[in-house]
Each structure stands twice: as C-alpha cells, then as structure tokens.
Amino acid sequence: MPSFSLMPKEGKFFKLFEESAQNAVDVAQKLKELLDVWDNIEDRVAVIADLEHKGDNITHQIATELHRTFVTPFDREDITLLAQSLDDVTDFIHSAADFMFLYNVEQPTQRAKELGNVIAETTVEMQKAVAQLTKHIDQTQSSNTALKLTAWKTWRTGSTAPRSSSYSPTTMTSNSSSNGAKSTNTWKPSPIDVKMSQMCWKG
C-alpha cells in the first residue's frame, strides 16, 4: 500500500526554521569567540551584525511564505511566533556584542565569558529541538486524523466501538478521566475527513 503524508507536501517552513536555528547557533558561537579572545572587536561585531541581518532575512522569508500558503503545517499564529522567537535570539546576541563595542569595554569579565558559553550551549539545544519539530508535528497530526477516521468508519459501518470508548460522527466519549467519569468531546467530520473515509472504506 503506498504511503502518504498527512502533512502539507511542502516542507519550506521547517527548512526555514532550521536555517534560523542554525544561524542562531552561528551568532552565539561568534559571541563566545569574541568574549574568549577579545581582539579585532570591531570586525568580530561586524560579523555578528551580518549574521543578525541574515536572521532577519530568514524571518522575512517565513512571513512571505506564510502569505502565499493556503494550508500550513500548524497554526499561522504559532508559525509567526516561532519565527519571531528564533529571530529574537540573534537580535539579543547582536545587541549584547554591539553594546560592548559602543561602550568600549576593555575586557569582559569571567562571568561574561561563562554566560557566553551558556548562550552557545543553549542555542545548540534549541537547534536540536527545532530539528525534531517536523517529526513531532507529523506524528501528532497522524494520530489525531487516525482517531477521527476510526470514529467515522465506526459510525458508517455500525460496528461496535472499542471497549475503552464509544464513537459517533459528532461525539467521542472516553473513560480516560482520572475520577472514572466519562469525558465527552464534540467532533464533527470535516469535508476532508469525509473524503478520506470514503477513499479508505468504501461500501
């Protein structure tokens, strides 16, 4: 049976998120090098500024793609928030380096160097989390859609629902609450749910 993805075919948003996260790692590493070495300060700050501008361009690309895309992999507001949050990381790092240069800091303190290390390590962990985003979103949407399709199939065929829950095309009732009471979530099949059900279960 041919496999298919429940995600939109384009992965452009995730690619741009990963580029933005990698850029944050690069900026943080440059800040760490600046604090550790503390020479050629103006040139090093200029490199950080260039990377900050690169981050701005990536954020603008995400905004542009968002306006062009009808079906997004997750909520538009969340895409905007994530893009802006990643961009904020590079903005703050650039601001820190720029202020040290403008105020003619003679030598960074040991605490400043330690903080530079923490920032560099944190951005690496952030990059790892962003890299896992595609897999996590795909698994979540697959699970939710499978549940809806099961409910729709059960209603259409009149078959008995699993013991742990009962389904109808508009209601899903579960015994999963901690106090033993049933919790009911209202769900109505969307046109795409109906279409997918018809494709998967004919008759």
Parts of the chain with a pLDDT under 70: 1-10, 138-203
Domain ranges of the chain: 12-131, 140-200
CA dist., res. 150 & res. 153, Å (int):
5
Per-residue pLDDT tens digits for 100-159: 999 999 999 999 999 999 999 999 999 999 998 877 776 665 555 555 555 555 555 554
CA dist., res. 167 & res. 154, Å (int):
7
pTM of the full predicted structure?
0.67
How confident is the model at residue 6, as a pLDDT? 46
Query: Which CATH code, of 1.10.260.40, 1.10.3720.10, 1.20.58.220, 3.40.50.2300, is assigned to 12-131?
Result: 1.20.58.220
How far apart, in Å, are the Cα atoms of 130 and each of 15, 17, 20, 127, 139?
10, 7, 9, 5, 15
